[in-house]
Structure 1
Amino acid sequence: MSLLSGLLDHMPPAIASTDTPKMDSRPRPRMVLASPVESTPRLITSPHASAATATPEWRQARDHYLNHIMVCRSCYAPTGRHCTAGARVRASYDNTPLEAHQ
């Protein structure tokens, strides 16, 4: 005897019914907005700085810094603790401009 059959012994048997359950003929209420909202498409005209728009030098400095702190057991970025090489790489990352000045 399995554990499942022991649990099912205490359940009443399912009786197959030929009747289909009665469906309520009233329509269900639907949620609608009280007043339609008109929105105009907003275009972003001012560029924002991100890694996608960053200079190649900044991306290289970021990648070099991240590659270092991921393997260095002495560096712990959340508290700002870095080994000598990590501090040098972090300073290079901080001093590299994200955007090219026009």
Structure 2
Amino acid sequence: MSKLTIIANIHANVDKIEQVKAELLKLVPITRAEEGCINYDLHQDNEDPAHFTFFENWESRDLWQTHMGAPHLAAYMAATDGAVDQFILNEMSHIE
């Protein structure tokens, strides 16, 4: 099975930027230790501090799906309920 790239764009509510950032940062070390995680890199937009992007690579879609059901992701969702304005996730395949 081919590698899966995930681009996740998270837009925090302007008054909740630091809360969302703190919760996203908690995900990084836990996720990087997960089976199948090649990289899990968090970025914050230089022009729009409410915009965060995860750039992720996984060994397979199945292993990424396991990650999506992990308890630490559920904890993030609960901790940021009402603090995120928009969440856009793209599953990408490397073609070159």
TM-score (norm 1): 0.32
- Say which structure, 1 or 2, has more relative contact order (CA 8 Å, 6+ apart): 2
Q: Calculate the TM-score normalised by the size of structure 2.
A: 0.34
Which is higher, the Rg of structure 1 or of structure 2?
A: 1
